[in-house]
Structure 1
Amino acid sequence: MVFGRTKLSRRCNLSQLRKLVNISNTIYGYLFRLSPVWKRKASSSSLRKVYLHLLVYIEKIINIIGHIEPQAYSKIPLTRYRISCMKMRVKETVSRFLHILYQSQIDQELYHLLERDLYLFLANREITRAEMDYIINLIKHIEISSVTDKTQLMDILYLHGFNAKDFFYFYSNELNNRLKAVPNLHGQIQIIIDEQDRLNGLPGSKARMFPYLAPIDGQLKNFLSKKERHLTEILNLRRAVIQDEQSMKSTSRQKIFLSVPQFSLLIRLFIEKGLLANENIGELFTFFATHFSTPQTQFISADSLRKKSTDVEFATAQKLKGHLIEMLNWLNENYNLSNYKKS
C-alpha cells in the first residue's frame, strides 16, 4: 500500500485504511466464530495466537498510517478488535463519570439525558477514532470543571458540540419555561436577546457528537432567532389591535339602515345625479366607509364599498328603489306634493 498527501491520494488513503479495518474485522470474526474449535483441537491454540498476532500487527500498521495521514485516520471506524480492547475501559470511565455527576446533584432530567446518549453511543456497532476521542475529552472536561449546576453543564455540552436531539429539546423546554414566567412580551424578547448575546460570547466548536446532525450552535441560534421573530410578530399584532381599538373610539360612526351594497349604490346615485362631486372618488368612498356603519357591518371596507357601487345586483337596485319610493311618498304626504305640477 502506498500513501500520499494530495487530495486524490487522501481519498485513496481512506479507502485503503477501510480495507485494513475490514480485513481486521474478518479475522476477528473468524477468531470468535471458531472459538468452540479452539477448545477441541490442540493445534488450534497456536492458530489462535497467529490470528491474534495478525490483529495486533494490522492495528500497528493502522496506527503508523494514522501518523502519516491523521485526517483520514480519524474518520475510519475502529476495528472490532480495537473496540473490544477499549470498550470495557471506556464503559468503566463512563460509569465512574456518571456516578460523580449524579452525586453532584445535577438536574435529573439533564443527567438522564446525558446518561442515555453516552450509553447509546457506546452501543454503536461502528465508532470512529474521532468519536471515541470526542467522548473521552468531553468526560475529562466535565470532570475537571467540577460541575455544580445545570447552566454550567449545558454550557460545557454546548462548547463541545453536544448535538444530541434530546439536548436541543431540553434547552428549548428550559427556555420556554423561563419565558412563561415573564408576563409581558417585552420582557420575554429581552430574555431571548440576552440569551443570543450569551451564546454569541461562547466560542463555537467544530466537534460534533453526532456528525450526521446539524451543529448544536446553529440549532440553538436558529431556534432563538425564530422565537424572537415569533414574539415580535405577536407584539406587533397586539399593537395593531390596540391602534384599531383607539381608532374605533376616536371615530364615531353613524349607522345607516341599509346593506353595504345598497349604501354603495346610493352613493353612486348621488354622484351620477350631481349631488356629490365626481372627483377624488377614492377619498369620497373612504370618507363614507370611515364615518358610517351598517347593522351587519361595523367596519366597512372603502375598496369593497367602491366596488359594490358599480357591480350592482338587480335585487340590490330593486330594494334601493323601494326605499326611494318610500322617501318620495313621505315627501308627498308631508308637503302636499302629490298634485303639484311644475309650471
Structure 2
Amino acid sequence: MKFELEFFDEFIKKECGKSKKLSPSSVITDFPKKRLLIEQEVERLKKSFVEQLFQVENESRFELFIQHHHAHIIRLANKVSTVLDKEESLNLNRIGAEPTRLNLCKVLLQAFENLLNYIEAHFTKYFDQDQKIPDTYAHISIKEFREKLEIIRKVFVEKGVDNEFTEIVLFPVNRFVETPEKKSLTFRNLIYKKYLVKELIALKDKPNFSEAVFEHLFYLNFNSYHFLQFATTKIRKEVELLPSMTAHLEHLSLTLKKLNQAQVKPTFGLKPLRESLKNLLSNWLEEEIHFIERKRQLTLMIPPGGVKAESVNDFKVKTSLSVPQLAYSIRLLKDSGIITNENRSELIRFFSKNFSSHQVENISTESFKGEYFKFGRAAVNHVQSILAKLLLHSKKDE
C-alpha cells in the first residue's frame, strides 16, 4: 500500500515552508489554479482511501494505512498553521479574495480539515482517536466552546441548577477553553466534549432539567471523580431523610436497580482508561447496602440488656474444596448461566458466608472475592477433574 500524501508534502515545502523572502501577505502566482489542484487532490485521496479498503486482503494493514495517513495529515496541518497567527486560525473559514500566501495556507488547512472529517466519518473503526488534534482545530474548538458555554450557563441559571453541579459538569470543557496550552487534546477528548455540549443544549426543554442532566451523565459515562463524589453525597442526603434502616436499604436497592438497568453509550467516556461511572457508583451502592445490612444484623442480635443473643442460624454447607477451588466453581456456574443472579458482589458475600472449605470454616468475603476474580491454574485443573468425576457418576445413573 503506497503513501498517498506526496503531493501535499511537496506543495507545502514549496508554497508554505519557512522562508525569509516570503511573508503571509506575499502574492501567489496562479492562485486559482493552485486552489483547484488542492481541491482535486482531496477528492482523489477520498476515492483512493475507499479503493484501498476494498482491495486490501489484510484488514490490519488497512488500519495501519489509515492511521499513518491520519497522523501525517495532522503533522502537515501543524506545519501550515505556523504561517497563521491565533486570530487568523479562528477565522479559517474566511478566505479573502487576495491571492496571498496566507489565503493559500487557509485553503490547505480547510482541505486537511475536510480529509480528517472524512476519515473520522467513514473510517471510524480504523483511525486513531488518540492522536493529538491539529493546533488550528484547537483554536477553532475553543472559539466554538466559548460561544456554547455562554448558552449552557444561561440555561443552567434559568433552570436554577446548583452552582456546584454546574461547575462539575462544565469543568472538562471550561478547563480546555481556559488553559488549552497545558493539555494536549486528542480526537477522542474532542469528540467527547463536543458531544457533551451538544447533549446539554438538547436537554434544555426537559421539565426537570437538573435531574435530566444528572441521569444523562451516566449514559455519557461522565466518569469524573468529582461527579462521583457529588452523586454519592446526593444519595447519602436522600437516605438521611428516611426514618429507618429498612427504608435506607429499600432506597439504596431501588437506586442500584435503576442504575443497573440504565443504558450507557458504548465505548464512550470522559476518562477512557478509567472504570465506567456506572460501575464506580454500583460498587459504592453495593458497599453501602452491605454495611447497612451488617449494621442491622448486629442491632437485631443485641437485645436491650446488651447481652449478645445466640445466633439463630449457624448452618453452613461444608465442602471438600479449598477456597480457590470453591470460588472458581461458583464462577463457572455464573459464567455458564446456571446461576443467573446479576449482582456478583451479593453472590460472593452469600457463598463466603454460607459455605466452608475443607480447611477454613469461616471464609472472609475479601478472600473469596480475590480467588473468584484471580483464579489459578491449580484450581482450574482440580475443578476439571471434579467435573470429570461428576460426569462418570451421572453415566452410572443412565
- Is the TM-score greater than 0.5? yes
Report the residue type matching 2:302 in the other structure. Answer: V
Using the TM superposition, give the Cα deviation of residue 116 of structure 1 relative to its aligned residue in structure 2, in angstroms. 2.7
SS in 2 for 1:242: coil
| 3-state SS of paired residue (1:65) | helix
Would you identify which runs of 4 or more consecutive aligned residues in structure 1 move more than 6 Å? none
- The equivalent residue for 1:235 is 296
Report the residue type matching 1:25 in the other structure: N
Equivalences for 1:282-301 in 2 at 5 Å?
none
Query: Which residue of 2 is the match for residue 53 of structure 1?
Result: 107
Matching of residues 165-176 of structure 1 within 5 Å: 165-176=225-236
For residue 161 of structure 1, what is the aligned residue in structure 2? 221
Aligned to 1:41: none
Q: Is the 8 A contact 2:302 2:308 kept in 1?
A: no
Change (3 A) 1:93 1:179: same
* Mapped partners of 2:295, 2:309: distance in 1: 21
Partner letter of residue 211 of structure 1?
P
Percentage of matched positions with identical amino acids = 11
Deviations 1:89-114 (A, max 9, x none): 23201211111111111223212222
Count residues in correspondence.
Answer: 239
1:125 and 2:125 matched: no
Contact 1:107–1:149 under 8 Å retained in 2: no
In terms of Rg, which structure is larger? Answer: 1
Residue in 1 that maps onto 2:160: 105
* 1:152 matches 2:212: yes
State which of 79, 104, 111 in structure 2 corresponds to 1:26. 79
Residue of structure 1 equivalent to 2:93: none
Calculate the TM-score normalised by the size of structure 1: 0.61
CA deviation string 1:276-319 (max 9, x = no partner): xxxxxxxxxxxxxxxxxxxxxxxxxxxxxxxxxxxxxxxxxxxx
- Give unpaired runs (5+ residues) of structure 2: 5-48, 54-58, 89-98, 311-398
Shift of 1:183: 4.3
Shift in Å, 1:30: 4.5
Kindly tell me: are residues 227 and 70 of structure 1, through their superposed partners in 2, closer, same or farther at Cα, counting changes over 3 Å?
Answer: same
Q: Over the residues paired in the alignment, what is the CA RMSD in angstroms?
A: 3.0
Q: Does 1:209 align with 2:270?
A: yes
Q: Which amino acid aligns with 2:134?
A: T
Residue type matched to 2:270 in 1? M
Q: Which amino acid aligns with 1:116?
A: F
Q: Is the 8 A contact 2:206 2:212 kept in 1?
A: no
* Structure 1: runs of 5 or more not aligned: 36-44, 250-343
Question: Structure 2 CA distance, aligned partners of 1:248 and 1:159?
Answer: 47
Structure 2 letter corresponding to 1:119? N
1:191 pairs with 2:251? yes
How has the CA–CA distance of structure 1 residues 46 and 146 changed in structure 2, closer, same or farther, with 3 Å as cutoff? same
Decide whether the 8 Å contact of 1:147 with 1:153 is kept in 2. no
Shift, 1:23, TM fit: 2.1
Matched residue, 1:70: 124
1:172 Cα deviation after fit: 0.6
Q: What is the distance in 2 between the residues matched to 1:152 and 1:51?
A: 44
User: Any conservation in 1 of the 2:223–2:271 contact (CA below 8 Å)?
Assistant: yes
